[in-house]
Structure 1
Amino acid sequence: MLELAAELLTRVRGRTPFVTATVTSVQGSAPRQPGASLVVDADGAVLGNVSGGCVDAAVHQACQEMLQGDHDPRTLRFGYTDDDAIGVGLTCGGTIEIFLRHHRAGGEPGLETAYAAVVGDEPVAVATIVRGPDAHLGRTIVVRPGRPTEGTLGDEQLDEVAVRHVTGALHAATTGTVEIGVADSYCQEPMTMLVECHGPAPRMLIFGAVDHAAALARLGAFLHYRVTVCDPRATFATPTRFPYADEVVVDWPHRYLGTQRVDGSTVVCVLTHDPKIDVPLLTAALRLPVGYVGAMGSRRTHEQRLVRLREAGLSEVELRRLHSPIGLDIGARTPQETALSIAAEIVAHRLGGTGLPLRSGVPLHRRVGPPGFPAWPTGHHEHSVGITRPRSFSGSQE
């Protein structure tokens, strides 16, 4: 739901009723993960999707029916069997559960706060009871660091229990379900809470104001990174040359990096090709808790760079963190193709991908990335539909 925050904020402020259909559970192969939503508003507009097309039409119809009739929250289940392969279901073979909820005009100030926080790129979490007693089903709370909690799940003690769970999820910037109730000694009937989290956009720091950097900045923005381009040459480091960067900085790269707050989601891409810049910059970057460090250059350049980095005091453990030559082997030649190669490696590293063709038999859907690099992606009234139980780079980096 939070992925559509900007559009939903407009509808809340315009007092337009709408229905959200949000993925809460996935089993097996499925195109979308928990938190993905399809929204239908009272004006007939449709936003988002929950399946990449497999069951979206059926979900859309259910949303329209909720807008026009019974507003009680409910769960839809979609799966696949050989018997109903041509019916409504997930042809990829998985099973998903989707929670439908009606949002009335002006009735949820907490959600307006949440949507506004996402638009402002502030950390926020929305927790919704998606399985449990009718008195709690569909209720939400909104949690923001250092701010009062908004909304209620229907009971003060339950809110306190939920906030503890939500705070942990928000710190990890993860979206998923949490079981509460019995385990927390709160009540005899368990409840399931969907926690949707939004954290500030991860950073992509690109060093070197070159054509490859301009192409990579555009892809970084497309992948929802906050992109910075840094270069000590004021003539080349200009906003006009990098329209997709959030900021363009004229400074020595190692000095600029030393002033920045970074974390496990930060990406550092060194495209400078200049030893007097590369060595101090990579020496600093490889000792920081960033998620990815890559450097452009030919294999000969890489070997010469390794010698200089060892002379600068970097250990073999630190050097193994360096992705160089940067990118995956896709046969790239142009700056745009090279940027795609780099972006593909960043995504594969973040999510634990192999970089192999999918037809080779590797799993289609991974849900977690490698340690230290966070992945950035059932209730009452249930309705069942078809239920069943070596990286390298071959492009030019001279």
Structure 2
Amino acid sequence: MLDIAEELNRWVEQGRDFAIATVVAVSGSGPRQPGAALAVDSEGTAIGSVSGGCVEGAVYDLCMQALEAGTDGETVLERFGYSDEDAFAVGLTCGGIIDILVTPVRADAPGRGVFAAALSAAATGEAAAVARITDGPAEVMGRALLVRPDGSYEGGLGGHPELDRTAAASASAMLDGGKTGTVSIGEDGSHCGQPLTLLVESSVPAPRMIVFGAIDFASALVRVGKFLGYHVTVCDARPIFATKTRFPEADEIVVEWPHKYLERTEVDGRTVLAVLTHDAKFDVPLLQHALKLPVAYVGAMGSRRTHEDRNKRLREVGVTELELNRLRSPIGLDLGARTPEETALSIAAEIVASRRGGSGVSLTGAHTPIHHDGTAEPAGRIGSVA
């Protein structure tokens, strides 16, 4: 749901009635992960996707039915899978199975406020998690709880008074890791008794991509980074090159020695560092610090000769072999890239493969999974099972 928060937030502000269909479970080869959503308003306008096209029509109809039922419309859970008997039947021809939760969200519904707060937080880049009951007694299906980073929460799941506190604690833990997925807890708030399944969707600020070196290759990488949903910073010590004119799509341009900037800026386990300067006076002090940080990716541009010389210099300043093994250098996958745009694509491909657990080999003739469970988070706002 939070993957389409900006548009849904506008619908809330406009007072529209709508229904949300959300992927809550995936088995086998599913095209979208839990949290992916399709929303339909009372006029029939649709946004988002739950399957990349396979079952969109059927899910759209379910949303319209939920809205047309008026105040009697209830949250329903529907399963879609591949049909061997009829390849043209509604189903996932990729062989997977997905469970879809369809929830009507009317302007006068008691739970509207929780959805509104969750969508507003996600649309404005605030950290928050929303937990919804996706499996349990019919009377509580779809009930939601919004959890803030400080552990406070609003809304309610109903039932035992401990249920909300336990659900909030579980959602808070997932929010800390920027994850989206399901958790099971008991109806009484314990981990015993009749279980409830909750889908927890985390909305976190966009992950950071910091590009060091204000060169043409950096300009192309900035564009690709923005396309992938990163908050992109360009850093270079040379003010003549690090300008908004040269990097109009960058979120931030910093004129400072790269290692000094990296020492003072905030990074986390989703941050990507791309070192494109291939100049020892910048690279060595920068990588000496970067390789000690708990970031997702550190890559450095340069020829194999540059790589060997840089590694020698890094060893001389105390960088360990374990730290050097984290360095992706020469940067990028072997695509035969020549132009800045092609090179940016090869770097981005390596970043995605690293994040998702991909091998980087051609899928043609390979026996590797198409979709990896890896450490998925949504570049972008939504952390995922991933």
Common fold by TM > 0.5: yes
The equivalent residue for 1:388 is none
Point out the more displaced range, 360-369 or 92-101. Answer: 360-369
Using the TM superposition, give the Cα deviation of residue 130 of structure 1 relative to its aligned residue in structure 2, in angstroms: 1.1
What is the CA–CA distance in structure 1 between the aligned matches of 2:133 and 2:375, rounded to whole Å?
27
User: Does residue 1:227 correspond to 2:232, yes or no?
Assistant: yes
Using the TM superposition, give the Cα deviation of residue 344 of structure 1 relative to its aligned residue in structure 2, in angstroms: 0.5
The equivalent residue for 1:387 is none
User: Does residue 1:366 correspond to 2:372, yes or no?
Assistant: yes
User: Does residue 1:328 correspond to 2:330, yes or no?
Assistant: no
8 Å CA contact 2:149, 2:176 repeated in 1: no
Counterparts in 2 of 1:339 and 1:183: CA distance versus 1, 3 Å: farther
Aligned length: 374
CA deviation string 1:28-83 (max 9, x = no partner): 00100100001101122110111111111111111111111251010111111321
Using the TM superposition, give the Cα deviation of residue 148 of structure 1 relative to its aligned residue in structure 2, in angstroms: 3.5
CA deviation string 1:143-166 (max 9, x = no partner): 012264111101332111111111
8 Å CA contact 2:210, 2:232 repeated in 1: yes
What is the CA–CA distance in structure 1 between the aligned matches of 2:248 and 2:188, rounded to whole Å?
51
Matched residue SS, 2:138: coil
Using the TM superposition, give the Cα deviation of residue 267 of structure 1 relative to its aligned residue in structure 2, in angstroms: 0.7
8 Å CA contact 2:151, 2:172 repeated in 1: no
User: Does residue 1:151 correspond to 2:155, yes or no?
Assistant: yes
CA deviation string 1:168-210 (max 9, x = no partner): 1111111111111169547743211111111121111100001
1:45-84 alignment runs, 5 A limit: 45-69=45-69, 70-84=72-86
Matched residue SS, 1:83: coil
Using the TM superposition, give the Cα deviation of residue 121 of structure 1 relative to its aligned residue in structure 2, in angstroms: 1.2
What is the CA–CA distance in structure 2 between the aligned matches of 1:79 and 1:230, rounded to whole Å?
48
CA deviation string 1:348-379 (max 9, x = no partner): 01111100111212111111239xx9x954xx
The equivalent residue for 2:202 is 197
Decide which of 287, 290, 305 is 1:282's aligned counterpart.
Answer: 287
8 Å CA contact 1:294, 1:326 repeated in 2: yes
User: Scaled by the length of structure 1, what TM-score is found?
Assistant: 0.91
Matched residue SS, 2:149: coil
User: Does residue 1:120 correspond to 2:124, yes or no?
Assistant: yes
User: Which sections of structure 1, spanning at least 5 residues, go unmatched?
Assistant: 378-398
The equivalent residue for 1:312 is 317
User: Does residue 1:353 correspond to 2:355, yes or no?
Assistant: no
Counterpart residue identity of residue 368, structure 1: G
User: Does residue 1:3 correspond to 2:16, yes or no?
Assistant: no
Matched residue SS, 1:138: coil
What is the CA–CA distance in structure 2 between the aligned matches of 1:188 and 1:320, rounded to whole Å?
47
1:336-351 alignment runs, 5 A limit: 336-351=341-356
Superposed CA RMSD = 1.7
Matched residue SS, 1:97: strand
What is the CA–CA distance in structure 2 between the aligned matches of 1:215 and 1:224, rounded to whole Å?
15
What is the CA–CA distance in structure 1 between the aligned matches of 2:152 and 2:13, rounded to whole Å?
21
What is the CA–CA distance in structure 1 between the aligned matches of 2:239 and 2:63, rounded to whole Å?
54
What is the CA–CA distance in structure 2 between the aligned matches of 1:106 and 1:216, rounded to whole Å?
46
Counterpart residue identity of residue 31, structure 2: P
User: Does residue 1:259 correspond to 2:264, yes or no?
Assistant: yes
Counterpart residue identity of residue 92, structure 2: L
1:114-193 alignment runs, 5 A limit: 114-146=118-150, 148-155=152-159, 156-181=161-186, 184-185=189-190, 188-193=193-198
Query: Which gives a bigger RCO, structure 1 or 2 (Cα 8 Å, sep 6+)?
Result: 1
Matched residue SS, 2:119: helix
The equivalent residue for 1:380 is none
8 Å CA contact 1:12, 1:106 repeated in 2: no
1:29-44 alignment runs, 5 A limit: 29-44=29-44
Matched residue SS, 1:347: helix
The equivalent residue for 1:110 is 114
What is the CA–CA distance in structure 2 between the aligned matches of 1:90 and 1:275, rounded to whole Å?
52
Matched residue SS, 1:25: strand
The equivalent residue for 1:22 is 22
User: Scaled by the length of structure 2, what TM-score is found?
Assistant: 0.93
The equivalent residue for 1:243 is 248
Matched residue SS, 2:198: strand
Decide which of 67, 86, 89 is 1:87's aligned counterpart.
Answer: 89
Counterparts in 2 of 1:376 and 1:124: CA distance versus 1, 3 Å: closer
Counterparts in 2 of 1:369 and 1:147: CA distance versus 1, 3 Å: closer
Using the TM superposition, give the Cα deviation of residue 288 of structure 1 relative to its aligned residue in structure 2, in angstroms: 1.3
Matched residue SS, 2:9: helix
Point out the more displaced range, 355-364 or 174-183. Answer: 174-183
Counterpart residue identity of residue 163, structure 2: L
8 Å CA contact 2:204, 2:383 repeated in 1: no
Matched residue SS, 1:96: strand
Counterparts in 2 of 1:252 and 1:106: CA distance versus 1, 3 Å: farther
